[in-house]
Amino acid sequence: MTNPYENLANAIVLSAVGDYRKVLERWSRHPGKEVYLQDKASLERFFRSDWFGVLTSIDPELLIHKLCEEVA
């Protein structure tokens, strides 16, 4: 049986990853839109935060790099 707290942590991380993908796609189509750049920076702060480290052992820099490669 899986731990409900682990499930919640995974859901939070997956939601942020999905949001980051969307922001990257929108930002790549509209690079002049400041709101997308702000959203991107906000999500990157989350990925680099202590809270993210509590939720997962994923390397935030590697995650950001891989997600950026997907959109490129």
The rounded distance, in Å, linking the Cα atoms of 36 and 34 is: 5
Per-residue pLDDT tens digits for 16-63: 999 999 999 999 999 889 999 999 999 999 999 999 999 999 999 999
Q: Are 36 and 27 in contact (CB under 8 A)?
A: yes
Predicted TM-score (pTM) of the model is 0.91
The enclosing H or E element of 33 equals none
pLDDT score of 32: 84
Q: Are 21 and 71 in contact (CB under 8 A)?
A: yes
2 pLDDT above the threshold of 80 = no
Q: Are 42 and 12 in contact (CB under 8 A)?
A: no
